[in-house]
Chain A
Amino acid sequence: MSDMNIFVHHLTRVEGHGNIAVNVTDGRIEKCEWQVPEAPRFFEAMVRGRHYTEVARVTSRICGICAIGHTLASVKATEAALGMRVTPQTKRLRRLLKHAENFDSHVLHVLFLAAPDLVGAPSVFPLVGTHPEVVKAALRLKRFGHEWGATLAGRTTHPTRVVPGGFAALPTEAEIAELAKRIKREVLPDLRAVAEVVVSLAGRFPAFERPTEYMALSCREEYGLYDGIVQTVTPDGVKQRYALEDYRSCTNEYVVPQSTAKYTRNRLSSYMAGALARFNNNYARLHPEAKKLAATLGMRPLTFNPYLNTAAQLIEIVHSVHEGLRLMNEALTRGIRDEAPVKPTRFGEGVSAVEVPRGILFHHYAYDRDGTCQGGDCIIPTNQNHGNIQGDFEKLVPELLGARRSEKELEHALEMLVRAYDPCISCSTHYLTVSFVK
């Protein structure tokens, strides 16, 4: 068997920097690595000395795509630390905002970053000429996702209005009514059209399975996005739940030499976070329309093909549109009341978790009696997926070599696999041992 030397430096169409390195000599795999060389940024140290009102605005800057999720995780952890109980209206609007982010980010990933692989194009730009109507619909959906988020958060890249205790400014009822109207008039038809295209290409998702552990938030009231406790499901279908405060004992971060980001594990050697992990944990709470799409795609829990994370994202887009519409109508029925953010009642430590598009995200802060941050810990979903990507590599490469695939095919399969996880590497670089000053 011939030798192979794959080195993909700074993989394209992902957020942040990752490398793929595979060396095969005489049919023997000498190296098979997913590497993360992203420059470390030290956010946990940078929040020290910031006032509690500023912390979310610093940690939002961890990620430009999931800035809403980081902001929500941050204000929730701060609220837990400072004993702030938000109002039902705040919770409803934040849930609606969380759906906006999931919708927005998934549209970007499924239609702009992953879809070109399904039609054999190197990027979305050639598709402007070949599939103009689909690209236009995708751009309209992306723009709507942004406007939906901006109506609630002020803007989507680093929200202005989301603050500890509630909202610094609120949307008007007219603005929410307009969003609901546009969902019915524009978004649902556009979504139906692009979903049909993706469904028609679903046969091009590579067939590959590696059963693993799946971690997601679990919540009785919803499909675990804004709230809940930690749940994992193993390939045997056994579910286990963990309190938020025990997040370190189910993430178990550890250091590897090929990465500036830490890896995680729980009951198995690695676990997966993200849309497919949520689908596998919380399928029962999906909106009926989302379940219908899942059936069309032939997906039900447990699905073990990581390439289908992209398909699970499409299912979640449908879920978020319908759930979003329901929450908008609920907000309109109840009316938007002018409420000032609630104030701190104590000081101390607090932990939170939210599901961002790429999976479960933990924030943890400690504050002194002046409300000054003493330190933070953020465990980001992409970090939690690095170990699982490595595990997939180790199963996939021998399988493809056994099937006598060419170096080019192997490289493409590995690139597509990493992209399926929708990694957000620029925010994944962070390390362990945070010592809180008591």
Chain B
Amino acid sequence: MSPAKKKARIAFFDFTCCEGCQVELTNVGEPTFLGLLEHVEVVEFREVMSEKTRDPIDIALVEGSFTRESDRARLEEIRRRAKIVIAYGACAATAGVNALKNDQTDYAKFVYGADAERPHLASQAAQPISAAIPVDYELHGCPMNRDELVYVLSHLLHGKDPVIPNYPVCVECKMRETVCRYHLGDYCMGMVARAGCGAPCPADGIPCEACRGFVDHPNLEALAKVLVEQGGLSAARAAAVPQMFTAYQRSKAR
């Protein structure tokens, strides 16, 4: 994309998710929102607009997980039309909380009872968007960090490559001088969780649950050991806790 005067055409699409990342967009506030609209033209965004387009798109932002084979064609169509595809939010980037069901075999029966076999309820393992189509950038987090989205869009509009953090949340806790959860008798997964969120959770009194997924090559054996020995969790909980947002990354089930 050239930094020409023409506005970039951006579009938003959603799959299996809570649509909270879209809501985060509406929380950026008036100056940023209107400022962004000076540089981009929103050409499709089902949740907030009725306008639709068949024309090519410069940047497609895709939210939600890939959980149904029937969604593949829609994703391929988005890929075909878009120069850049960004998977935004945990569900799209890493399958997020949706993948919690991947390690269960009876989830459909548990929720749907006798209706579990009905065809319109078909669902497969929750997967990130990249399992269906090539993705250019991944914006992590549950919800995604709206400042990071503005940062990434701004870089792309200037023809620059955005940097997505690949260091642990502990770094950001230290930077904002948050007291370590372990010092307060709690547990935490900040030492293997991908940063970029600004570490709001430990600062708000709860453990980091790695909603942005793990950094590359996390030492999960050490994590389990620390959760038990320093965090005081049972071995069973130490195994369950890291699954919350990273079940897809950990699970062999695809």
A binds B: yes
A-to-B contact residues, CB < 8 Å: 10, 12-16, 37, 39-46, 48-51, 54, 57-58, 61-65, 67, 108, 112-113, 116, 122-125, 128, 136, 139-140, 142-143, 146, 154-158, 160-161, 163, 167-169, 255, 257, 260, 370, 375, 426-427, 430-435
Q: List 24 A-B contacts (CB under 8 A).
A: A10-B46, A12-B46, A15-B19, A37-B120, A39-B15, A39-B67, A39-B68, A40-B111, A40-B112, A41-B16, A45-B110, A49-B240, A58-B97, A64-B143, A65-B23, A67-B20, A142-B27, A156-B27, A161-B204, A167-B205, A260-B121, A370-B234, A432-B113, A433-B113
The A-contacting residues of B in range 211-254, CB under 8 angstroms, are 234, 237, 240-241, 244
B-to-A contact residues, CB < 8 Å: 14-24, 26-30, 33-34, 37, 42, 45-52, 67-68, 71, 96-98, 100-101, 104, 106-108, 110-115, 120-121, 123, 142-143, 200-201, 203-206, 209, 234, 237, 240-241, 244
| Distance of A142 Cα from B237 Cα, bound (Å) | 39
Contact for B244 among A37, A58, A157, CB less than 8 A: A58
Main secondary structure of the interface of A (DSSP, over half): loop
Report whether A63 and B18 are in contact in the complex, using a CB–CB cutoff of 8 Å: yes
Number of A-B contacts (CB under 8 A): 188
Q: Which 3 A-B pairs have the closest CB atoms?
A: A64-B20, A123-B49, A168-B205
18 more CB-based (< 8 A) A-B contacts, given A44-B111, A169-B204, A260-B120: A13-B50, A15-B47, A39-B123, A40-B111, A40-B123, A50-B240, A64-B17, A64-B21, A64-B24, A122-B49, A123-B51, A154-B204, A161-B205, A426-B17, A431-B115, A432-B115, A433-B112, A433-B113
A112: chain B residues within 8 A (beta carbon):
26, 48
Known: A54-B244, A143-B27, A434-B111. A12 touches B205 (CB 8 A): no
A158: chain B residues within 8 A (beta carbon):
20, 142-143
Report whether A57 and B30 are in contact in the complex, using a CB–CB cutoff of 8 Å: no
B23: chain A residues within 8 A (beta carbon):
64-65, 108, 156-157
Contact for A160 among B114, B206, B234, CB less than 8 A: B206
A431: chain B residues within 8 A (beta carbon):
111-113, 115, 121
B19: chain A residues within 8 A (beta carbon):
15-16, 63-65, 426
Find the residue from A13, A39, A168 having the highest chain B CB count within 10 A. A39
Closest to A64 in B: B20
A161: chain B residues within 8 A (beta carbon):
204-206
| Distance of A58 Cα from B100 Cα, bound (Å) | 10
Report whether B205 and A142 are in contact in the complex, using a CB–CB cutoff of 8 Å: no
| Distance of A58 Cα from B98 Cα, bound (Å) | 10
Instruction: Report A153 CB to chain B, min CB distance, Å.
Output: 9
B97: chain A residues within 8 A (beta carbon):
46, 58, 61
Report whether A45 and B42 are in contact in the complex, using a CB–CB cutoff of 8 Å: no
Report whether A42 and B107 are in contact in the complex, using a CB–CB cutoff of 8 Å: yes
Report whether A51 and B34 are in contact in the complex, using a CB–CB cutoff of 8 Å: no
B204: chain A residues within 8 A (beta carbon):
154, 160-161, 168-169
B48: chain A residues within 8 A (beta carbon):
13, 112-113, 123-124
| Distance of A48 Cα from B201 Cα, bound (Å) | 23
Closest to A113 in B: B48
